[in-house]
Chain A
Amino acid sequence: DIQMTQSPASLSASLGETVTIECLASEDIYSNLAWYQQKPGKSPQLLIYYANSLNDGVPSRFSGSGSGTQYSLKINSLQSEDVSIYFCQQNYDSPYTFGAGTKLELK
């Protein structure tokens, strides 16, 4: 199975700040990487697919990058509504494993 190591596990940042979350795959996943945002009590929502494609309706302050085994999600100009848990997921090979999640809070 492909292991997804996500860091940091938690993150505290101020409004307007830029934050970066990273995901490391245990093998090359050829950019088949998605990022999801999950708010308390809700289902995950797709933010980014194919490592750097923004899903419809997602604010442009979210961006994804990376290739091979290393990927990152960047949030520019942090807003209060961005407080959530973020997960990466590899969709290259079954089982389609997720990172453990990053809890983003406001400082």
Chain B
Amino acid sequence: QVQLKETGPDLVQLTQTLSITCTVSGFSLTTYNVHWVRQPPGKGLEWMGAMWNGGGTDYNSAFKSRLSISRDTSKSQVFLKMNSLQTDDTAKYFCARRGYGGYYFDYWGQGVMVTVSS
């Protein structure tokens, strides 16, 4: 059964670095791509970036050089790291699986709500 679960801090201080782990089960990271999407409270969804099954990455340029995505295939984990956090980075952060050979996100994690505090 396919599952994704995000774990990370509830609270991050202004200008500090956010680290979130997406642990997956029921599929292999070497077969499927995993993406990161965030949603500020009461707002829409914003695509952040992706870890391709081949190990490459893709980033939304809106995050410039603040964002880094990596993985540990032996642990079935994908990592998001974003530095220089601001208050408008307060959001729920989701990881999602892209369908095999498909152009859609077929499974999502429950998300982790992160508040950036000044």
Binding site for B on A (CB under 8 A): 32, 34, 36, 42-46, 49-50, 55, 87, 89, 91-92, 94-101
B54 at the interface (CB under 8 A from A): no
Asked if A43 and B94 sit within 8 Å, CB to CB, the answer is yes
Chain A residues with Cβ below 8 Å from B47 are 89, 95-98
Interface size range on B against A: 20 to 34
Binding site for A on B (CB under 8 A): 35, 44-47, 50, 58, 60-62, 94, 96, 99, 102-106, 108-111
Q: Determine which residue in A43, A49, A91, A99 has the highest number of CB atoms from chain B within 10 A of its CB, and name it.
A: A43
Main SS class of interface, B: mixed
Asked if B110 and A43 sit within 8 Å, CB to CB, the answer is yes
Bound-state CA distance A49–B109 (Å) is: 19
Asked if A98 and B111 sit within 8 Å, CB to CB, the answer is no
Asked if A100 and B44 sit within 8 Å, CB to CB, the answer is yes
Asked if A95 and B104 sit within 8 Å, CB to CB, the answer is no
- Distance in angstroms from B66 CB to nearest chain A CB is 15
Bound-state CA distance A44–B105 (Å) is: 9
Chain B residues with Cβ below 8 Å from A87 are 44-45
Q: Contacts A97-B47, A98-B47 hold; do A46 and B62 have CB atoms under 8 A apart?
A: no
Asked if B94 and A94 sit within 8 Å, CB to CB, the answer is no
A95's partner among B44, B60, B106, B111 (CB-CB below 8 A) is B60
Chain A residues with Cβ below 8 Å from B61 are 95
Q: What 5 new A-B contacts, CB under 8 Å, besides A32-B103, A49-B102, A49-B106?
A: A44-B45, A44-B105, A46-B106, A89-B104, A96-B47
Q: Contacts A99-B44, A100-B44 hold; do A92 and B110 have CB atoms under 8 A apart?
A: no
B103's partner among A44, A92, A95, A97 (CB-CB below 8 A) is A92
Q: Contacts A49-B99, A94-B58 hold; do A55 and B106 have CB atoms under 8 A apart?
A: yes
Chain A residues with Cβ below 8 Å from B111 are 43
Asked if A96 and B44 sit within 8 Å, CB to CB, the answer is no
